[in-house]
Amino acid sequence: MSLRCEILSTGDEVLTGQIVDTNAAYLADQMGSLGFEVSRHTTVGDDRALLAAAFRQLGASADVVLCTGGLGPTVDDLTTEVAAEVLGAELRLDEAALAHMEGLWKNRGRAMPENNRKQALIPAPAEVLENPIGTAPGFAVRIDRAWFFFMPGVPREMKRMFAEQVVPRVEALRSEPTVFDVRVLRSFGLTESATDQALAGLEALFPGVKLGFRAHFPEIQIKLTVKGPDIAAAKAQLEAATEEVRKRVGAHVFSDGASIEQVVGEGLTRDKATLATAESCTGGLVAQMITAVPGSSAYFDRGFVTYSNQAKMDLLGVGEDLLREHGAVSEPCARAMAEGARTRAGTTYAVAVTGIAGPGGGTPEKPVGLVFVALASPGGTVVRRLRWPGQRDQIRGISAMVALDLVRRALAGLPLEEGDNPRGQ
Q: For the chain, what's the residue count?
A: 425
pLDDT score at 1: 52
Domains of the chain, earliest start first = 4-171 (3.40.980.10), 179-255 (3.30.70.2860), 260-412 (3.90.950.20)
Q: What is the pLDDT of residues 178-191, one digit of tens each?
A: 667 789 999 999 99
Question: Quick one: which of 203, 200, 208 has its CA closest to 249?
Answer: 200
**Banded pLDDT at 424 (limits 50, 70, 90):** very low
pLDDT at 252 over 60: yes
- Per the CB < 8 A criterion, the answer to whether 239 and 181 are in contact is no
Considering the chain, what is the average pLDDT of its residues? 93
**Tens-digit pLDDT profile for residues 286-315:** 999 999 999 999 999 999 999 999 999 999
Q: Which of 38-47, 60-69, 218-227, 246-255 has the lowest mean pLDDT?
A: 218-227
**For the chain, how long is the longest CA-to-CA vector?**
83
Beta bridge partners of 181: 226
Which of 1-10, 39-48, 175-184 has the weakest average pLDDT? Answer: 175-184
Q: According to the model, what pLDDT value does residue 419 have?
A: 43
Percent of the chain with pLDDT over 90: 84
Q: What is the pLDDT of residue 177?
A: 56
pLDDT digits (tens, 9 = 90+) for 357-402: 999 999 999 999 999 999 999 999 999 999 988 899 999 999 999 9
Q: Which residues pair with 350 in a beta bridge?
A: 276, 376
Query: What are the CA-CA distances from residue 86 to residues 62, 90, 138, 376 (Å)?
Result: 16, 11, 17, 67
For 139-159, what is each residue's pLDDT tens digit? 999 999 999 999 999 999 999
Q: Is the separation of the CB atoms in 202 and 210 below 8 Å? A: no
423 pLDDT band, cuts 50/70/90, is very low
Among 112, 108, 91, 104, smallest CA distance to 130 is for 104
